Structure 1
């Protein structure tokens, strides 16, 4: 609930005259605006992600006889603060510039002499007649740095009042949303200011105060986030040890259940006003804690792009599901060697085997048959190259208009080259594979609501595109993604669960980080829950850092979240049938004579196979 200000509680109706003042000439009225409390930002279950807290500031009013000169004014403040330190430990002497500005324009008003404190400040009016306490609203993020990039933060709305006191000026500094949902929904979050009449005596005391109009709080924002899922996602990223991001989506509605970027920041640092030094430190941090990698970061998708290459070939009729290509360590294309991720020669793979083992050389050859237009069309239909629609800023990534050379086409087939996508885009593409019908529009906010419970600004789930693939082709890809996780030789077997079927695709891509080559690794897919949850996790490697892979590095990160979903489905808002998930161990190609496919470099050749004619065929095709 919104915290109430002590100024508002139990105020009598505005009197026709000020009691006790009569016709006194030493009493002067001032009229201030009471800034309204901002609305809350809530998760889908109504739990607060951003709300307000009441903070207190100690103030001193300098008596009229001590206001003759700035020196006299300052000396009295120093003496009073020193004398009250024992009873009022929060008291501190403001800096000289602050005292001077206050003296020049508003010396008759109380001067703030403490930082904002959450504890109540108790004053004995007999001992400290010139002291008073002002209660203010301050933005508060009860979950700390959780969902910081989505929530954003607030900043001061304009400069602090200076000069002569103006009628209706704010009683304290107003704030406005600077980034994130705080900025996107600033109008809805902002309430209506109240009005306070303050009677000040020349002696430096408050003769009377009256709230004529109480402030009205802004509207609450109800997001699609699930606090339990968000917490699990952020905890998993915290222990990753790299810059990373994760998105988890309800594939039926497009609702974002969790979206996290690491490293992050604590928006509470901005609530009371961040120092320029602290902001500079944050903004210039080479790790980029203010940068939202989940929606604004774009990276080569690598092998998580391959399911869409398969769908393109199936739809175009150029490469059917059983068509086999050699999964060798390299392939010569236009005089240049294009590598597989492995140096082994695995034999001939169809689409399923190629996805299970993420064979690059299969996809080079498949793309040469399908060509660029069907692949690019399929990628656009699944949301690549298009900025997701959200109230916060999102990146469109990069998808080429065509592949002008065979080398460009080879890179396109494995999600490399100029192709880039954000973790959110990849998660939304996976949500389309999960629901099998459409690509839903991503949704982060469900609606706003007033403090009395009236709902407005409703965002209804909707579809971006209908899937341009047959159910048969879709099942081909989904079955292969099931095997990526649940086959004994799948690259994503680290994400396997015992009770919930996980469908996934690993990815390892190369990109340029601060001018040097580095890896970025992925694991993306969906889980067979009701509703199905699609996900994507991306991890940035450092320049020259080896040992990172989609299956070995990224998959274990999301698995921590998936295991919690398996253990506590109700907390995450899903259900699933409690059945055993079978592990597959069928051979991906005909076994070699030695009895071992994966441990042996030998290759099974179909009858009549000759390396020369096959290579010659592709050389002719690539010209």
Structure 2
């Protein structure tokens, strides 16, 4: 809600704080208020400050936090007005502790009849509030909505008020919850004497996600309120200095529509998983979805212990951001990196074939092909297409683990992305030191073979896998990722922005890239990833199926990761399906179907995104043309209506369009139509549009 909308609604908070009118005092049957009215006082009367019960109070009016939005300005986090039920003490002529506590306790009991979820203050708390803070409301409820306020307000009795406060609100609830984060209240309301410029209500601060990372940018500038009360509790002055100024706006790179669709796809295709989509050209993260997630509004103003325990103890771990905190074996989605390293180092060529039996033995371990049958001689393209484990185990050892793991690091594996994320995992790319430390031995051929198929000690997050695909799609460099597009101040001025940058040079030869991309295209065209195909563009990708988690659970993970379109890559992505214990999963069966389910929803939008930029219109200077053509005038086309309007009495002969001059074309240079058979045309073009 905009600040200009919130401020008028909140103005009556100051009137409520200001105390009670003479009419209320004079009709009060309470024996504590039996004193007679006193003469009217003025804030200019210096004598009032020498009296025991007179007060000058300076308070801070908290400012609303700024918004967090998607790239199109749609809000993930904003503010709304909430209400708190409070006891508002009157000024009593005698400070009788028992009577004061009884009066406050009566109001608490009345409040319970209106709203059961009322806190139960102690007698001492009620008395101390009257002694030190009776000019301010004593809050006894959590935040109430506008509907709840409408239900309670007509039933309020004297001494009970509803105080408006700012409340953080997440209109999309659980969408992108792990990224947006939530706020929490800063401490508790003061209980002793009123301090100068203490806040009217408890303010919020960022506790997780963007809310915490950009807390300073989101904080607004408060205003000040000065009030003066005479010894009878009558308000003599209520002066506000300035207006609260809302915080800045943090614009994320996420596309809300895409993010919501990704979470819907995860809901319908998995119980637990993740989808990440990256713009290859800019490095902007458009989608980063984790399933399950949680409703951010549960944290506002504070989550109950019961609700928190449900989230924390759930087997599905909804607080765990799988997209950037989940460390999984990348499985066969890692194989294109091995192929790139081998081609780039000259270990193999695009035409090199390697004999692939049903399995390769390393000590007592057999590394099987997924089909458990021999494939014979395979080139690199076919090895990628059919995801052949023996081929990659042999080639991985030929090129050496140092080479393909080094390329993996340049593609962003083994380190955090640098995005503004809390708790992001770095994954794991093993080193000789790591193996020696953890296993007490040097790297073996079995290690290299296992790593070459994305298993063993190689671990990655879905974000890292998608980032690696963005590097392969880009070709020359790994783009630096961005999750924040810009930060705007209160006035809408951009004070921080993200620009496309290079993170790492990849140092890959173009022929190696072309060969691997061809193989990844074949994966979708006729290999293990056929169910990830799209009818309107060519997808390049790689399936993956791996073992994850403790062996006792026998838990699998399925991947499909890649980019599109083949010829002009623009979007890189990773889809993860986390299997349940004992469930048999596969990349082709569980992860691939997520691709059309997501991307088909944005066909027109993506086609427009990847279309080449329109050619610039050439502007011709007519005078220059006339000079260049020795005075020959070029016709400037105009509509007949324009001519008729310019010459109502008839178009002069000198500017009438001349008759067409027939031009003879010699037979031997005249263009001729080349007759073709429709089947030939269809074979050569892959289809054609019929004529009119």
What TM-score, normalized to structure 1? Answer: 0.84
Distance 1:445 1:283, change over 3 A: same
Distance 1:84 1:359, change over 3 A: closer
Partner Cα distance (1:336, 1:544) in 2: 22
Partner Cα distance (1:583, 1:201) in 2: 91
Distance 1:263 1:60, change over 3 A: same
Superposed displacement of residue 67, structure 1: 8.3
Superposed displacement of residue 160, structure 1: 3.2
Which structure has greater helix proportion? Answer: 2
Superposed displacement of residue 564, structure 1: 0.8
Q: In the alignment, which residue of structure 2 is the partner of 1:598?
A: none
Q: In the alignment, which residue of structure 1 is the partner of 2:530?
A: 493
Match of 2:544, SS state, is strand
Q: Is the 8 A contact 2:270 2:577 kept in 1?
A: no
Q: In the alignment, which residue of structure 1 is the partner of 2:83?
A: 56
Distance 1:74 1:204, change over 3 A: farther
Partner Cα distance (1:352, 1:535) in 2: 21
Q: Is the 8 A contact 1:500 1:576 kept in 2?
A: no
Distance 1:322 1:160, change over 3 A: farther
1:342-491, aligned counterparts within 5 Å?
Answer: 342-393=371-422, 394-402=424-432, 404-487=443-526, 490-491=527-528
Partner Cα distance (2:72, 2:595) in 1: 23
Q: Is the 8 A contact 1:525 1:534 kept in 2?
A: yes
Structure 1 residue 282 corresponds to structure 2 residue 320: no
> Which protein is bigger by CA-based radius of gyration?
2
Q: Is the 8 A contact 1:196 1:209 kept in 2?
A: yes
Superposed displacement of residue 162, structure 1: 2.5
Q: Deviations over 1:345-369 (max 9, x none)?
A: 2222211111111110111111122
Q: In the alignment, which residue of structure 2 is the partner of 1:2?
A: 2
Superposed displacement of residue 90, structure 1: 4.6
Superposed displacement of residue 293, structure 1: 1.3
Distance 1:93 1:150, change over 3 A: closer
Greater RCO (Cα-Cα under 8 Å, separation 6 or more): 1
Match of 2:274, SS state, is strand
Q: Is the 8 A contact 1:5 1:137 kept in 2?
A: no
Of 277, 293, 302, the residue aligned with 2:331 is 302
RMSD: 3.1
Partner Cα distance (2:264, 2:100) in 1: 53
Structure 1 residue 558 corresponds to structure 2 residue 595: yes
Structure 1 residue 535 corresponds to structure 2 residue 573: yes
Partner Cα distance (1:144, 1:449) in 2: 23
Partner Cα distance (2:9, 2:59) in 1: 12
Q: Is the 8 A contact 2:111 2:118 kept in 1?
A: no
Partner Cα distance (1:93, 1:100) in 2: 17
Partner Cα distance (2:157, 2:547) in 1: 68
Distance 1:473 1:281, change over 3 A: same
Partner Cα distance (1:126, 1:260) in 2: 45
Partner Cα distance (2:109, 2:509) in 1: 80
Structure 2 unaligned spans of 5+: 15-20, 22-39, 433-441, 613-681, 687-692
Q: Which region of structure 1 is more displaced relative to structure 2, 307-316 or 154-163?
A: 154-163
1:34-183, aligned counterparts within 5 Å?
Answer: 34-65=61-92, 68=95, 72-80=99-107, 89-90=114-115, 93-97=118-122, 100-105=124-129, 106-108=132-134, 109-119=136-146, 121=149, 128-183=157-212
Partner Cα distance (1:131, 1:523) in 2: 60
Q: In the alignment, which residue of structure 2 is the partner of 1:524?
A: 561
Match of 1:457, SS state, is strand
Partner Cα distance (2:684, 2:597) in 1: 20
Partner Cα distance (2:539, 2:266) in 1: 20
Q: Deviations over 1:132-183 (max 9, x none)?
A: 3322111111111100000011112234322222111111111111111111
Partner Cα distance (2:683, 2:321) in 1: 35
Distance 1:565 1:7, change over 3 A: closer
Distance 1:212 1:8, change over 3 A: farther
Superposed displacement of residue 235, structure 1: 0.7
Q: Is the 8 A contact 2:107 2:160 kept in 1?
A: no
What TM-score, normalized to structure 2? Answer: 0.76
